[in-house]
Amino acid sequence: MGTRFVGWGMAVPDKIVTNDDLSKTLETSDEWISERTGIRQRHIGGTTTELGTLAGRRAMEDANVKPEDIDFVILATTTPDRMAPSTAALIQAELGLTCPALDVNAACAGFPYAVRVAQGLIETGTKRILLIGAETLSRWVDWTDRNVAVLLADGAGATVMEYSETENDIRSFVLGASGVDADLLTCDHGSYFFMDGKEVFRRAVRVVVDSASEAIQKAGITPADISLMIPHQANIRIIQAASERLGIPMENAVITLDRYGNTSSASIPMAFWHARDEGRVKKGEYALMTGFGAGMTWASSVLKWSM
């Protein structure tokens, strides 16, 4: 018995902001942003509820399930629409669900953290869960601060997870947090995101490599068995450094940050959606998802596709 992923969805706002658009108002350039980060454009707009609802509906359609089939909805987000209620509750209403609803905030590691929570619920009797990662980071960006404005963006991704008598897609998990590093990447009430980019970069590579190595070992496989790496989409150089140190070729990594920038909790499920859409999710093969972010938090998990 175990947990299976049975459907995927994603959504982004219509408005695209290119690097050239940003360089009209900020002292930056397309050359700097694309060379240092890999980002070329991002989508901006909407609310977390709107984007999460759209991605969630698409995942439910993809899984061919109706509102009454969903027993729990979990939203991973760093940018809830209100302090209370949870944005998961707002999405629950929009989707016509009647199940429990819960927000999870583990910043850019939010999606794998939420998968771990969902797995625990499924192992203890919950049958089917709609799990969404949705963010509207642009509302918490100081658009005159080039350190952050060129990176963060909006979007949502979603999946349906369900109990299976015969299959188990989740093979290992390694989660961590280091609250003493809270001020490296932070956003206070009524304020904007602040990031010590250099330090976050250094730590990100270290925690991704350490947690991913441990997750691979726990799953009883080697890096050579990983055919798909689905990393949090913060910076192409972080992904390249991790890929090199882990010994997982860059061709196996899913890269979407060129189109969407850093969408925090949404980046991993959006990358999953693209991987599946491009036919890269293959039955019987292993995938690694890995994320890190404000907290600091980090999470790596090895998955094996059953469908």
Of the candidate spans 49-57, 143-151, 207-215, 246-254, the one that interacts with ligand UT7 by CB under 6 A turns out to be 143-151
Rounded to a whole number of angstroms, the minimum distance from the CB of residue 25 to ligand UT7 is: 12
232 is catalytic: yes
The first and second tokens of residue 126, run together, are: 């919950």
55 scored as a contact of ligand UT7 (CB under 6 A): no
Cα 136 to Cα 50: distance, rounded to the nearest angstrom: 10
| Residue pointed to by tokens 């909407």 | 46
Residue from 32, 140, 143, 194 that binds ligand UT7 (CB under 6 A)? 32
Give the closest residue to 150 by CA, choosing from 292, 5, 48, 22: 22
Identified catalytic residue from 108, 187, 235, 274: 108
Q: Radius of gyration of the chain from Cα atoms?
A: 18
Binding to ligand UT7 (CB under 6 A) within 150-169 occurs at: 150
- Classify residue 284 by burial, with Cβ atoms within 10 Å: 0-12, 13-18, 19+: exposed
Is 262 one of the annotated active-site residues of the chain? yes
Q: Alpha-carbon distance 214 to 209, whole Å?
A: 9
Closest approach of ligand UT7 to the CB of residue 291, in Å: 8
Residue of 19, 43, 187, 232 marked catalytic = 232
Distance CA 105, CA 220 (A): 30
How many chain residues are in contact with ligand UT7, going by CB under 6 A? 19
Contacts of 251 (CB under 8 A, 6+ apart): none
Ranked by CB distance to ligand UT7, the top (closest) residue is: 197
Q: Is 25 in the site for ligand UT7 (CB under 6 A)?
A: no
Verify whether residue 189 is a known catalytic residue.
Answer: no
Choose which of 3, 19, 37, 48 interacts with ligand UT7 (CB under 6 A). 37
Q: Which residues are catalytic?
A: 108, 232, 262
